[in-house]
Chains A and B, each alone.
Chain A
Amino acid sequence: MPQRIVIDPITRIEGHLRIEAELDANNTIAKAYSSGTMVRGLEKIMVGRDPREAWAFAQRTCGVCTTVHSFASIRSVENALGIKIPKAANLIRNLMIAQQYVHDHVMHFYHLHALDWVDVVSSLKADPAQVSAIQQKISPWPNSSPAYFAKVQKQVQGIVDSGQLSIFANAYWGHPAYKLPPEVNLLAVAHYLEALDWQKDATKIHTIFGGKNPHPNFVVGGVPMPIDLNSDTALNAERLSIISDSITKMIDFVDQVYIPDLLAIAPYYLEYGGIGEGLGNFLSWGEFPGEDNSDVSKFLVPRAVILNRDLANIQVPDPNDFAKMQEFVSHSWYKQSVGDQAGLHPWKGETEFNYTGPKPPYQFLDVEQKYSWLKAPRWAETPMEVGPLARVLAMYAGGHAQTKELVDLVLKTLDVPITAVFSTLGRTAARCIETKVFADSMRTYFNDLVTEIKAGNTKTYNGDKWDPITWPTHSEGFGFMEAPRGALGHWIVIDNGKISNYQMVVPTTWNGSPRDHKGQPGAYEASLVGIKLAKPEWPLEVLRTIHSFDPCMACAIHMVDAEGQDLGEAALGMTVCDY
């Protein structure tokens, strides 16, 4: 055996998130600060490029969110140039977007978030016969025999014995805040492993519509895959049938595994229905256009702003409103030509770095000054939460029948009041609820697509404005995308056929934003205040709330106790290279 050399992986994420929390004498969080400690700056790469190629760069912004950035980018160009996409193309895009939600949310739940609630080690104590009884009671899912769970338990034992337990996203095994009985723990661990196999079927849709995998293709004006039932290289009958099967498998997993598991785990953690709310303000750009991207009245998920939990007075935000859609840099490491207190609309946005923070390695950030690489996006100078809860509330308030049924079902099953939706638990339940809504919508979009094809509407691409000679000398566009973790916007300015400004406001910038010019905290910062920690050196409760937002970044949590004593960095997610 050769000597093992130490290899640290290079950082594989778009940035680090750092939380600094101050505790009071009762180990309760009094103040929290969220900082993005790695600079972005993709905007600078875009200037001067061909807008039709912008998506290929945008999709690498985040290694995992390639699809969402591609869509936001091509939509921004289509909006700037007034391009309408064919009906079949819109249906295909909706299918790809819905698939992304279902895939992403299931993997987030089992591979990240469930382990905040599920103690893997405890599952070794479970009685497989009892697990089988629970499984058969809550779901018709076929993998339910005592022998099956005994096999999974043996597999977990093997992992523990081999010392590779860390493969399960670390959690603090044995932490007093873990409440599930061993049987429910084993049930969840079994589904953690099953989800890995399930994702193979779930990704088939993207491979087919995008033409290749990984990194499918996108095109301004439609989708790159032509429809021709008689062609080997186009969307044909055989491929449609693969897609249909894949949709069925996705829906089955959501219905028979994800939803029952959520409802089986949640009763043990009902106190999280009362903590972790944060702002009470929500924003959604809307998603799943009926036909035309510009007709927001026909979106499945409404474009909406909700203020102070008020579901009766929904506003429809205009992303092009210079006075309302603004980003602030008062506490962010940027310099603006108009002064650092002014808010700028993304079309006028500036990306001028101005790092004034401490030289790493450092103990604390100076949170009274600038302390983050994230800007502070605000709607009407108000901080907003984005993500599943914002979307579910928008659909609920908008009268979407299935959403209303599902929300009411969850509240009734858990026997909690409607106010419980404004919480860590509410956010986690909302993710599951919308997964069900979007999984079912795939069947509808698929059937509609088949109807269009049968009617001969097989056009998937509108090339009328492909040639830059058809473009105005100056244009501005907004590309929306409700990414799984929340509202994503790309704002583009095109001059003489080239990009002259490009600004992205990503979901984690909304949720993880630092304080703004008025000192108002962002969503993460607000949601952590008041959370009591059972063991401050193992801040599991913080992870639960931050994970409920599904951050797009890795995160270091830095705890300081009441005496100002540094408890060190806990849960630093990765090995960071030294330079």
Chain B
Amino acid sequence: MTEANRTIVLGLGNTLNRDEGLGVHALKALEAHLGARPGLELLDGGVLGLNLLPLVEECSHLLVLDAIDGRKLPGTVIELAKEQIPLYAGVKLSQHQITFQEVLGLANIRGLLPQHLHMIGIQPEDISIGLEMSLTVEHAISAVVYRACLVLEDWGLLDKTGTL
């Protein structure tokens, strides 16, 4: 089912909860930096949960940008290679509670996890209601864009001169 070469950069998070939406903000920053590129899809996944499974299962290369709680100082950029991403599910009380790790977990048990998978995020500072990110996190967005470009270079989608 995996298409031969489909690369998706997926920005995740809720943009109404300040730093929770940093993945979507980082995606937009990456889009502004790269412009439209053939063979590369930049998608705003919001917090769609299980609805994202079809997309995940259809790509060969998936780069996820997201808020990550790694118990680090706020603003710390956190990068996870495929084997470091926990794929699991927990007890569910609502259909609305499916985390992205669970989407990856489902793809995994179905044997459809993307061959190339990478996650870049930032430790959030403030996830209260609000549209603007905290300054701490906003300042780290360009570092996420830079690292995202390195990953895309690695995957042969950007040449070395295309980075920041």
A interface list, Cβ under 8 A from B? 1-2, 4-14, 17, 39-42, 44-45, 57, 60-66, 104, 107-108, 111-112, 155, 158-159, 162, 164, 166-170, 193, 196, 199-200, 203, 214-215, 543, 546-547, 550-557, 571-575, 577-578
Contact = CB atoms under 8 A, between A and B. Distances in A.
Contact of B92 (A7, A8, A62, A112): A112
A389 to B, nearest CB: 18
Interface in B58-105: 66-71, 78, 80-81, 83-102, 105
Nearest to A214: B48
Which of A2, A4, A166 has the largest count of B CB atoms less than 10 A from its CB? A166
A170 B89 contact: yes
A296 B61 CA distance: 49
A7 to B, nearest CB: 5
Contacts of A42: 16, 129
A575 B88 CA distance: 11
Nearest to A571: B91
Interface string B14-53: 1110001000000000000000000000011111111111
Contacts of B46: 60, 63, 66, 214-215
Contacts of A193: 110
A64 B49 contact: yes
Contacts, number: 181
Interface string B96-128: 111111100110111000000000000010010
Given A159-B109, A164-B105, A7 B68 contact: yes
Given A6-B71, A168-B89, 16 more contacts: A7-B68, A17-B94, A42-B129, A64-B48, A64-B95, A66-B48, A164-B88, A166-B91, A167-B89, A170-B89, A170-B91, A196-B110, A199-B50, A214-B51, A573-B91, A575-B90
Nearest to A168: B89
A62 B105 contact: no
Nearest to B49: A64
Interface of B: 13-16, 20, 43-55, 66-71, 78, 80-81, 83-102, 105-106, 108-110, 124, 127, 129-131
A573 B51 contact: no
B137 to A, nearest CB: 12
A551 B92 CA distance: 11
A547 B69 contact: no
A432 B46 CA distance: 28
A60 B69 contact: no
Given A170-B91, A573-B92, A196 B47 contact: no
Given A9-B69, A12-B49, A66-B46, A571 B14 contact: no
Contacts of A170: 89-92
A169 B96 CA distance: 12
A574 B43 CA distance: 25
A6 B84 CA distance: 9
A193 B46 CA distance: 24
Closest 10 CB pairs of A and B: A63-B47, A555-B93, A170-B91, A554-B97, A169-B92, A9-B99, A200-B54, A167-B89, A577-B69, A573-B93
Contacts of A574: 90, 97, 99
Contacts of B51: 64, 199, 203, 214
Given A57-B16, A215-B46, A167 B109 contact: yes
A69 to B, nearest CB: 11
A354 to B, nearest CB: 16
Nearest to B110: A196
15 contacts: A7-B78, A10-B66, A12-B49, A12-B98, A17-B94, A60-B16, A61-B16, A63-B96, A111-B92, A162-B109, A164-B109, A167-B88, A169-B92, A573-B93, A574-B90
Which of A61, A158, A196, A555 has the largest count of B CB atoms less than 10 A from its CB? A196
Given A64-B95, A214-B45, A214-B48, A166 B131 contact: no
A42 B44 CA distance: 20
A550 to B, nearest CB: 7
B49 A63 contact: yes
A552 B95 CA distance: 7
A314 B153 CA distance: 64
